[in-house]
Amino acid sequence: MSEGQVAARSGDLTVWAKQVPRPWVGALEATLLTGLIYDFLRPFALSLEVVHPAMLKAIAASKKKGDRVDARKIADLLRCHLLPRSYMAPSH
C-alpha cells in the first residue's frame, strides 16, 4: 500500500496507473472532474468506484478533516466492501 498525490492530467494519470501493481481496484471522491478522471482511469482498473457524496458525508463525519484523512477513509470503506457507491453513466 502506498500514499501520494497525482495531478489530474492525462500524462500524470497514465504514468501513475501503469505503475500501480495489477490488478488494482480504486475509488474516487465525487468532484467536478470525477467523470473525466473515472472515464480515463477505468480501462486501467479491475474495478473503479465513485463514492456517493451524501452517504460519505454521513459516514465520514469527524473532527479530523483533510484530503489525506478522507482518502484513507475511502480506502478503508473500499477494502471492507462498505463504500457507498454512486452510479456512473457510460461515457458513450
Q: What residue type is assigned to position 42 of the chain?
A: R
Residue 37 included in any domain: yes
Residue 34 included in any domain: yes
Total domain count, the chain: 1
State residue 69's pLDDT score.
79
By CB neighbour count within 10 A (0-12 exposed, 13-18 middle, 19+ buried), where does 74 fall? buried
Residue 41 included in any domain: yes
Residue 64 included in any domain: yes
By CB neighbour count within 10 A (0-12 exposed, 13-18 middle, 19+ buried), where does 89 fall? exposed
Residue 61 included in any domain: yes
- pTM for the predicted model, two decimal places: 0.79
When pLDDT is cut at 50, 70 and 90, the band that residue 71 belongs to is confident
Residue 23 included in any domain: yes
Residue 50 included in any domain: yes
Q: Encode 35-62: b = buried (16+ Cβ within 10 Å), e = exposed.
A: eebbebbeebbeebbbbbeeebeebbee
Residue 90 included in any domain: no
State residue 54's pLDDT score.
75
Q: Which residue range is the domain that position 48 belongs to?
A: 10-79
pLDDT digits over 9-63, tens only? 999 999 999 999 989 999 988 888 899 999 999 999 999 999 887 776 666 666 6
